[in-house]
Amino acid sequence: MIGWEAWAVAVTDPLPAPKGEGCRSPSLSTFNSAARRGAGVDGCIFCRILSGELKGYFVYRDQYTAAFLDAYPLAEGHTLVVPLRHVQRFQELSEEEACALSRTLLKVSKAISKALGASSLTIGINDGPDAGQVVPHLHVHVVPRWRGDGGSNLHSIFRGARRPERVSMDEIAMRISSSIERLYSADAMLFRSRRVHIACRRSGSGSWTWRAARGPSTSGGSPRAGSAWW
């Protein structure tokens, strides 16, 4: 069988750019006005840090997000990445904010690893009070890790908790998948209406070529060499 390497995906009818700044990195001078423009909540300690009312040890900030050191760190360099706008849950973010949060998380993660020589990172969100969220302003923990630091992994949170039965996982996966389809059916229809190409080449070959993708199979099976699925 001929092997193919996928290198890039192109949409021949590009999706429109998001309104506003999207995921571009704005100048730091926009931070103060953006922080005040975000709907801060009186009494929220993170909103007070973002507005400058309380001191924060900032490592990064842009139009949508900021990152500062945790006041009660689990390790040296423990950093919080937060949206400027006051939201409690991850799902309350706009698409622009979610994109910006992801970009900031990537920048901060790379910087912590480089600056502190952390061999690993634990990255997590306590998304809501039942998940252990203390400050009701969405924040992502970035905790530097080193071999033998005494910490554990995320699975340790659920020690002793009841695990779902394996037989129910098909049903759970179907329910979540159906929910995504209902919530984002417009996005799915928009994507399927466009012709997608993938840049690929024969393994070991030096020349690239664009090949048309085709939609998902309804009869199962695997895609042919050189074809793409979405």
Phi, psi of 214 (to 5 degrees): -130, 160
Q: CB atoms < 10 A from the CB of 132, how many? A: 11
- How far apart are the C-alpha atoms of 2 and 159, rounded to whole Å? 47
116 CA to centre of own chain = 23
Residue among 139, 141, 155, 197 flagged as catalytic: 139
- How far apart are the C-alpha atoms of 214 and 212, rounded to whole Å? 7
139 flagged as catalytic: yes
- How far apart are the C-alpha atoms of 155 and 162, rounded to whole Å? 12
CA contacts within 13 A on the Cβ side of 175:
5
28 contact partners, CB below 8 Å, separation of at least 6:
61, 62
Q: Please identify every residue annotated as catalytic.
A: 139
